[in-house]
């Protein structure tokens, strides 16, 4: 029964949706303090390469690789964040975009370590490692009536789902805390926030670093889901794509990022039947939606309208 | 606060339910294993993953056109009946993997052709291999492709076959001792080609005067070329795609560098002549496909292709055309569309006559065939003597 409804194709798309939700959140969090960061592709690359190299060369467990990847990305976030947060708005966007390109070019040129543009092959796959582990403790996928590769993708999907839920929980909790209110006050008016005694630099670095952490985490997971990475995966196209997730879905509310990533990842797959034209439709859709709803599909007003009743304060 | 969390969880669970519900549809496709119809014609379905949208869509289009033409010709022969299921990869590894999963979720698929780029292939092939489905690359020339697994094959002539052939012939004729190298280091194809060039030059005992790199989309190569000119080489090994390579040659000739260039697979295109004009003279490439050949098989292919799609075929279309004939031949010998039998038959392919010449697989599933070395002379590709 279970074996029939679990299609690896859908599970795979589901996994990519969840990874993209993480990436969209990595843009959303800095944006909630008024910082437009386009470095997500670069941070994602740092996370992916760190985790992949550690697991390939030192045989470390994937979990440690992923944590190390996310931490490496956030460390870079702190280092880069402190000086570049003097910038704001479009200048910060350009600086972070530049950072992403620098990181990609390092991957391309650091041949001895990253194998250049040919990329890293043979990265341990998350699902297969879980399968081996499950077998080690005496569990066979056949026991619940599913095939091995269904189990592999189901386990990836569930791991990602849990992680996304934890991240969402964390971000929402933070938004309604002292930190979150500090961030949104910085977003609304930096000078006013500062005169209220909020340490702007501190909070900005916090939100920037959180963005870097989520992007690094998503990158590390991406590497272990797909099993192969090359610098082309982390080009500025990726940064723009991630930004579109957030802006399209609505950058004012976190559910907007989730929706944007979900919808825009699913869209090209649903449109597969029109083959060559699917990206044309995708493009037209973006143009129309940005013309009609520049604030993104979901915003605070709309959420209120559709009776999204919740305690006052709400998500921002 | 609590209510909000509840909302989030409920939305996520709805998303998940939707996904799971959607899963129901996929497996209900044709489950008929009766792939042999009454008149003895073996039917099989092949999945194709190609780069059909995005910057490199021209490659995917040439490949799918080649396959469609081959499908028509093969089905007309009446021995086997082939159905193609074509999916787009948009040049991205994750999209290619999605396409592969979609194809593999249909149990009646016998084998897969593609994806187009080596960077997509590296992501897709291990997964396909684990599922026990044969997969063949028609345009993936980087080292290490067929080594991925038992079910992984390729009929694209790898750089490690084409480039050494071209360099050897060029050195034989020009007596070159010193070579300079230039390559695009942010593209897997040109980087892979460079690795082979460097290895070959070292094996042949050539002195490498300098190694220069450029970035994809660069338009001014004067800095690199000045350096190359100062080291006074006898030959330039350029691992470049034709659009950048042609500009490099043009600027080199303007600078007074008149020595021959040796290029890889990506440099081999009539477009190089269209872009660089006379400056393209003296380019030496090795290729399995020589478009201006007088071989009747090739002229017929060129004519058919042009009649069907209104443009001239290139190397990628020709290789894709041959690929489907290799599959058809294996299918005939396997006698059924069973994946295991098909894989065994495919691996045993030997001396199959395609439009590009005699074709065999070696023990890992890599291609064995002769390549022709071409040069551009007076604005035309001719066979290198």
Note the pLDDT of residue A21: 95
Residue B26: predicted pLDDT: 39
DSSP string, B183-205: EETTSHHHHHHHHHHHHHHHHTT
Query: What phi, psi does A100 have (nearest 5°)?
Result: -60, -40
- Highest mean pLDDT, choosing among A24-28, A237-241, A299-303: A24-28
Considering CB atoms only, which of A222, A229, A310 is closest to B4?
Answer: A310
Q: How many inter-chain contacts (A to B, CB under 8 Å) are there?
A: 144
Identify the residue among B186, B215, B217 best suited for mutation to test binding to A, counting A beta carbons within 10 A and taking the highest: B186
Q: What is the pLDDT of residues B294-318, one digit of tens each?
A: 788 888 888 999 998 988 888 888 8
pLDDT in tens, A63-121: 999 999 999 999 999 998 888 777 877 888 888 999 999 999 899 888 888 888 888 88
pLDDT the model gives residue B176: 87
Name which residue leads in pLDDT, B291 or A12.
Answer: A12
Helix axes A278-292, A254-270, angle to 10 degrees: 150
Both tokens assigned to B105: 């979720």
Subunit contact A231:B186, Cβ cutoff 8 A:
yes
B28–A contact, CB cutoff 8 A: no
* Chain A contact present for B130, CB below 8 A: yes
Reply yes or no on whether the pLDDT at A280 is more than 70: yes
Which residues 221-260 of B are in CB contact (within 8 Å) with A?
none
CA distance A200 to A206: 10
User: Does residue B90 sit at the A interface (CB-CB below 8 Å)?
Assistant: yes
Beta-bridge partners for B49: B87
Chain A positions in Cβ-Cβ contact with residue B106 (cut-off 8 Å):
none
> At A1, is the pLDDT very low, low, confident or very high (cuts 50, 70, 90)?
low
Cβ–Cβ contacts within 10 Å for residue B54, how many? 15
User: Cβ of A315 and B192 within 8 Å?
Assistant: no
Task: Quickly state the pLDDT bin for B291 (edges 50, 70, 90).
Answer: confident
SS3 B283: strand
CATH class of B160-287: alpha beta
The share of chain A scoring above pLDDT 70, in percent, equals 95
Q: Does B17 touch chain A (CB under 8 A)?
A: no
From CA B350, how far away is CA B328, in angstroms rounded? 14
- Percent of chain A's residues with pLDDT above 90: 37
- Model pLDDT, residue B28: 37
Residue A290: predicted pLDDT: 83
- Classified as helix, coil or strand, A76 is helix
Rounded CA separation B232/B225 (Å): 11
Average pLDDT over residues B210-225: 89
Q: A17-69, pLDDT tens digit by residue?
A: 999 999 999 999 999 888 888 889 999 999 999 999 999 999 889 999 999 99
Topology given in CATH for the domain delimited by B42-157+296-368: Rossmann fold (3.40.50)
Report the gap between the CA of A182 and the closest CA in chain B (Å). 18
SS3 readout for B244-265:
HHHHHHHHHHHCCCCCCEEECH
Instruction: Please report residues of A whose CB lies closer than 8 A to that of B54.
Output: 279
pLDDT of residue B13: 56
Q: In 3D, which of B156, B163, B340 has the Cα closest to residue B263?
A: B163
Say if the Cβ atoms of A118 and B23 lie within 8 Å: no
Could you say which of B3, B12, B119 has the minimum Cβ distance to residue A230?
B119
Read off the pLDDT of each residue in B40-67 and give the average, rounded to a whole number: 86
B4 pLDDT higher than 60: no
Helix (H) or strand (E) holding B323: helix B315-334
More confident residue, B353 or A23: A23
In sequence order, which residues have a C-beta less than 8 Å from that of residue A191 and are 6 or more positions away? Answer: none
pLDDT at A114: 84
CB contact under 8 A, B26 and A10: yes
CB contact under 8 A, A279 and B22: no
- Stretch B47-51: mean pLDDT, rounded? 91
Name the nearest CA neighbour of B16 among A21, A241, A108: A21
Residue-range domain boundaries for chain B: 42-157+296-368, 160-287
pLDDT tens-digit readout, B128-187: 888 889 999 888 888 888 888 889 998 888 888 888 988 988 898 888 889 999 998 888
User: Which two tokens mark A124?
Assistant: 């341990």
Spell out which residues of chain A touch residue B98, defining contact as CB-CB under 8 Å. Answer: 9, 12-13, 16, 269
A11 contacts B131? CB cut-off 8 A: no
How distant, in Å, are the alpha carbons of A14, B71, B83, B237, B321 from that of B47? Answer: 22, 13, 9, 37, 15
Q: What is the pLDDT of residue A45?
A: 94
Most confident range, picked from A157-166, B28-37, B239-248, B341-350: A157-166
The whole-chain average pLDDT of chain B stands at 83
Interface of B with A in 137-176 (CB under 8 A): 142, 144, 148
Predicted confidence at residue B27, as pLDDT, reads: 38
Are the Cβ atoms of B188 and A275 closer than 8 angstroms? no
- Least Cα separation, residue B94 to chain A (angstroms): 7
Contacts of A3 in chain B (CB under 8 A): none
Average pLDDT over residues B341-364: 86
Contact between A10 and B27 using a beta-carbon 8 Å cutoff: no
């Amino acid at each position: 029964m279970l074996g029939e409804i679990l299609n690896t194709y859908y599970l795979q798309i589901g996994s990519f949706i969840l990874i993209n939700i993480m990436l969209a959140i990595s843009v959303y969090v800095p944006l909630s303090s008024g910082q437009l960061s386009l470095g997500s592709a670069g941070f994602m690359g740092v996370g992916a390469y760190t985790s992949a190299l550690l697991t390939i060369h030192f045989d470390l467990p994937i979990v440690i690789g992923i944590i190390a990847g996310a931490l490496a990305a956030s460390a870079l976030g702190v280092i880069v964040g402190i000086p570049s947060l003097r910038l704001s708005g479009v200048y910060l966007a350009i600086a972070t975009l530049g950072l992403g390109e620098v990181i990609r070019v390092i991957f391309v040129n650091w041949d001895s370590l990253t194998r250049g543009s040919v990329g890293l092959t043979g990265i341990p796959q998350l699902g297969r490692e879980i399968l081996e582990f499950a077998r080690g403790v005496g569990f066979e996928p056949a026991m619940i009536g599913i095939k091995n590769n269904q189990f592999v993708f189901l386990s990836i999907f569930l791991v990602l789902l849990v992680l996304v839920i934890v991240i969402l929980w964390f971000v929402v909790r933070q938004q309604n805390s002292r930190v979150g209110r500090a961030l949104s006050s910085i977003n609304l008016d930096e000078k006013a926030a500062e005169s209220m005694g909020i340490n702007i630099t501190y909070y900005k670095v916090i939100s920037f670093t959180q963005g870097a952490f989520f992007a690094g985490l998503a990158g590390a997971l991406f590497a272990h889901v797909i099993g192969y990475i090359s610098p082309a995966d982390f080009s500025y196209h990726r940064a723009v794509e991630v930004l579109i997730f957030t802006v399209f879905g609505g950058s004012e509310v976190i559910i907007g990022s989730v929706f944007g990533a979900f919808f825009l990842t699913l869209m090209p797959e649903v449109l597969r039947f029109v083959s060559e034209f699917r990206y044309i439709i995708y493009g037209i859709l973006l143009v129309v939606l940005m013309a009609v709803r520049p604030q993104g599909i979901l915003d605070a007003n709309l959420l209120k309208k559709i009776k999204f009743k919740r305690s006052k304060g709400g998500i921002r | 606060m609590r209510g909000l969390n509840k909302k989030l969880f409920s939305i996520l669970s709805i998303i998940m339910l939707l996904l799971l519900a959607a899963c129901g549809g996929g497996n209900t496709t044709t489950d008929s294993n009766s792939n042999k119809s009454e008149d003895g014609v073996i039917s099989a379905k092949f999945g194709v993953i190609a780069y059909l949208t995005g910057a490199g869509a021209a490659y995917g289009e040439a490949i799918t056109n080649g396959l469609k033409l081959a499908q028509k010709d093969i089905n007309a022969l009446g021995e086997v009946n082939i159905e193609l299921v074509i999916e787009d990869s948009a040049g991205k590894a994750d999209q290619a993997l999605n396409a592969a999963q979609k194809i593999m979720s249909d149990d009646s698929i016998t084998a897969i052709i593609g994806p187009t780029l080596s960077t997509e292939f590296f992501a897709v092939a291990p997964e396909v291999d684990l599922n026990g489905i044969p997969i063949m690359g028609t345009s993936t020339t980087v080292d290490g492709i067929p080594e991925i697994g038992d079910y992984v094959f390729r009929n694209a002539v790898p750089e490690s076959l084409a480039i050494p052939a071209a360099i050897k012939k060029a050195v034989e004729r020009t007596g070159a001792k010193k070579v300079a190298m230039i390559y695009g280091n942010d593209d897997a194809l040109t980087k892979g080609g460079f690795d082979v060039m460097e290895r070959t030059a070292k094996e042949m005992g050539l002195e490498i005067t300098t190694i220069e790199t450029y970035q994809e989309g660069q338009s001014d190569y004067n800095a690199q070329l000045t350096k190359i000119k100062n080291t006074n080489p006898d030959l330039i090994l350029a691992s470049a795609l034709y659009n950048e390579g042609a500009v490099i040659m043009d600027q080199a000739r303007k600078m007074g560098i008149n020595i021959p260039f040796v290029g890889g697979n990506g440099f081999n295109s009539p477009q190089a002549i269209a872009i660089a004009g006379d400056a393209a003279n003296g380019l030496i490439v090795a290729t399995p496909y020589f478009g201006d050949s007088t071989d009747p098989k090739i002229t017929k292919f060129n004519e058919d292709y042009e009649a069907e799609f209104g443009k001239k075929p290139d190397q990628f279309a020709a290789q894709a055309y041959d690929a489907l004939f290799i599959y058809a031949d294996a299918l005939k010998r396997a006698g059924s569309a069973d994946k295991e039998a098909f894989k065994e038959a495919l691996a045993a392919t030997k001396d199959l006559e395609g439009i590009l010449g005699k074709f065999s697989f070696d023990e890992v599933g890599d291609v064995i065939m002769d390549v022709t070395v071409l040069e551009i002379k007076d604005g035309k590709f001719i066979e290198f003597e």
